[in-house]
A = this chain, B = another copy of it.
Amino acid sequence: MRALDRDFTEETATDIVLGRNEACSLPRLTQIMAVLVPHLHAVVRELDLTSAEWMAAIAFLTATGQISSDRRQEFILLSDTLGVSMLVDAINNRKLDDVTPSTVLGPFHVDGAPEMDMGGTISLDGRGEPLLVEGRVLDERGVPIEGAVLDIWQTSEDGFYDTQDPSQPDMNLRGVFRTGADGHFWFRTIVPASYPIPNDGPVGKMLAALGRHPMRPAHIHFIVSAQGYDALTTHVFLAGDPYLSSDAVFGVKEALIRDVLTSTDAERAAARGMQAPFKYLDTDIRLQHEAATLSQGPQE
């Protein structure tokens, strides 16, 4: 094997690198390299990559690392905008067909949002158009789940999370709710807005060069968990948003889009602490049992 190492050519390159990694005692790392190196080399070969393009790639990756900080993760943004994050999400969340699909967590979740009584409002400053969100947490057969915990977060009407916007109170538009025996939940909020992902860095430049906008359609984030069920990280998207078919991070799934409707029902308004006419969004969420048989992914 070693004789090869002194004859590095276009033809021998991949075998030589993989041969060198044979001393690795970590089976998973060996496997990762055995997949990564051939694909990396194939990219170079198929593109007939020039030295100048290689140098541009080095500079792009370096800038992507250097703009990242405690408050910003540009490599996650790169992964998001190339569809890698959603693909990892899909592979790690193979579900039964009748279960609510997952989508990306995103960078704006905060631990420790306030636990609220059912029906509470997560809008602490009252800014924006009031919205009632209501539904049930069910299992894969439609049986209500008691004690499911919903961790909710969303943007303001201006498209900013509280952590991005000093004008919002701390923990604005964040809340944690727990279902009763009927699996029912409801809370009050405001209509969220579409917004751009950070686009003043290398990923923003890449999107611009690709002729792509940086927008995400308006959505409400949910993490729903319950004893004995797979935790679900997902969004509910608002029907009619102009970016539903071109989410910059590919997070939209048809099954996660819900209409925002207007109700004139004075009785429901009174029961839910709203003023008629009011906007509402109904959505059930279906979890699957931990031990449930997974639907087959498109594996070989």
* Interface residue ranges, A against B (CB under 8 Å): 2-3, 5-11, 13-14, 16-17, 20-21, 23-26, 29, 31-33, 35-37, 39-51, 53-54, 58, 61-66, 68, 73, 75-76, 79, 82-92, 209-212, 244-247, 250-254, 257, 297-298
A74 CB, nearest partner CB in chain B, Å: 8
CB-based contact A24/B250 at 8 Å: no
Q: How far is A65 from B41 in the complex, measured between Cα atoms in Å?
A: 21
Specify the chain B residue showing the minimal Cβ separation from A103: B8
Query: A5-B246, A82-B40, A244-B6 are contacts. A48–B91 as well, Cβ < 8 Å?
Result: yes
CB-based contact B23/A82 at 8 Å: no
Query: A64-B65, A210-B23 are contacts. A297–B16 as well, Cβ < 8 Å?
Result: no
Q: Which residues of B contact A253 (CB under 8 A)?
A: 6-8
A212 CB, nearest partner CB in chain B, Å: 6
CB-based contact A36/B44 at 8 Å: no
Q: Which residues of B contact A297 (CB under 8 A)?
A: 10
Q: How far is A16 from B297 in the complex, measured between Cα atoms in Å?
A: 17
How many chain copies does the complex carry? 2
Q: How far is A168 from B35 in the complex, measured between Cα atoms in Å?
A: 43
Q: Among B46, B65, B79, B247, which residue has its beta carbon within 8 angstroms of that of A63?
A: B65
Query: A16-B83, A25-B211 are contacts. A43–B54 as well, Cβ < 8 Å?
Result: no
CB-based contact B33/A210 at 8 Å: yes
CB-based contact A61/B61 at 8 Å: yes
Apart from A10-B298, A13-B83, A45-B87, what 14 extra A-B contacts exist at CB < 8 Å? A6-B245, A8-B251, A17-B250, A23-B210, A23-B212, A26-B209, A31-B47, A33-B210, A36-B43, A39-B43, A49-B88, A58-B79, A62-B75, A65-B68
CB-based contact B39/A9 at 8 Å: no
Q: Which residues of B contact A37 (CB under 8 A)?
A: 82-83
A163 CB, nearest partner CB in chain B, Å: 19
CB-based contact A58/B44 at 8 Å: no
Q: Among B26, B61, B87, which residue has its beta carbon within 8 angstroms of that of A65?
A: B61
CB-based contact B90/A13 at 8 Å: yes
Specify the chain B residue showing the minimal Cβ separation from A25: B211
Specify the chain B residue showing the minimal Cβ separation from A60: B75
Query: A6-B244, A7-B254 are contacts. A92–B209 as well, Cβ < 8 Å?
Result: no
Q: How far is A39 from B42 in the complex, measured between Cα atoms in Å?
A: 8
CB-based contact A87/B13 at 8 Å: yes
In the complex, the 8 A-B pairs of residues with the closest C-beta atoms, listed nearest first: A65-B65, A23-B211, A17-B83, A11-B298, A39-B39, A2-B245, A6-B254, A13-B87
Q: Which residues of B contact A209 (CB under 8 A)?
A: 24, 26, 29
